[in-house]
Structure 1
């Protein structure tokens, strides 16, 4: 005797959401979570459209949220033109250590305006993040003229502060020396 499932009378069976519909909902949740965790981040998108999920600008801070490979390239070109060293934070909205260090990262971005602070969501830019060989989040890359000069894996506040201070001090020393 086989078992048969019966629909309750009068109820329509709903089809499951498509992958794209479900993913859009997840991304909207992730973006709002990112906004709440990184209040000083300015979202940066290469498009000029009115996509509020991407183009929301946050008060304060010097951190740009990178959402596309094009925006990454654009910010690196800008940093190179301005002679700025880039600190790129590869993180994830679900990552506890990433959430813990986010406010500190924002504070550092406000203190060291001569540096460019970027945040890349590893889930939103999966392929791009994989090309950087990310093994854990957060991972911070320090870039000069697009080349990696240092790296920090993990949410180690004292070590992050030490590396950023050393880079900023070196940058100031280079700018004040006669050429």
Structure 2
């Protein structure tokens, strides 16, 4: 049981710092750069479409950080739909939160809504 306590603490300490586990996409150029780099990789990309006004998105944020910390081989990118509407439109991210799972530049699955268990199940299945 002691190991659980330290692992939970480690998650919080790594989440507290601005880590590279979740890439905050701030510009179209940054998005394009990440997307292009992922096309040549077999790594799973999880795009977290969110918005400042979205209550369920805010509720999912700590869960997404926790999930990202467990899957170091998966790249997580957070996209604010109000800042990058064209990216959201490309993936038809209308209902938020929306998690689009991409491999080699192609969407392979998605989770719509605040469903952390479903998200973890799909990451488990697709990152293997």
- Which residues in structure 2 correspond to 1:48-59 (within 5 Å)? 58-59=17-18
- Which of the two has greater helix per residue? 2
Q: CA deviation at 1:132?
A: 1.9
Aligned to 1:156: 115
TM-score by length of 2: 0.80
- Measured in 2, the distance between the counterparts of 1:82 and 1:157 equals 25
Q: CA deviation at 1:110?
A: 1.1
Root-mean-square deviation (CA, aligned residues, Å) is 1.9
1:146 to 76, 101, 105: 105
- Structure 2 residue runs of 5 or longer lacking an equivalent are 1-13
2:124 to 165, 169, 178: 165
- Measured in 2, the distance between the counterparts of 1:40 and 1:73 equals 25
Aligned to 1:121: 80
Larger Rg: 1
- Measured in 1, the distance between the counterparts of 2:15 and 2:86 equals 26
Aligned to 1:75: 34
Q: Higher relative contact order by CA 8 Å / sep ≥ 6: 1 or 2?
A: 2
Deviation string, structure 1 residues 114-133 (Cα, Å, up to 9, x no partner): 11100000011123312221
1:86 to 45, 52, 57: 45
Count of aligned positions: 115
User: Contact 1:61–1:110 at 8 Å: present in 2 too?
Assistant: no
- Structure 1 residue runs of 5 or longer lacking an equivalent are 1-38, 42-57, 171-179
- Which of the two has greater strand per residue? 2
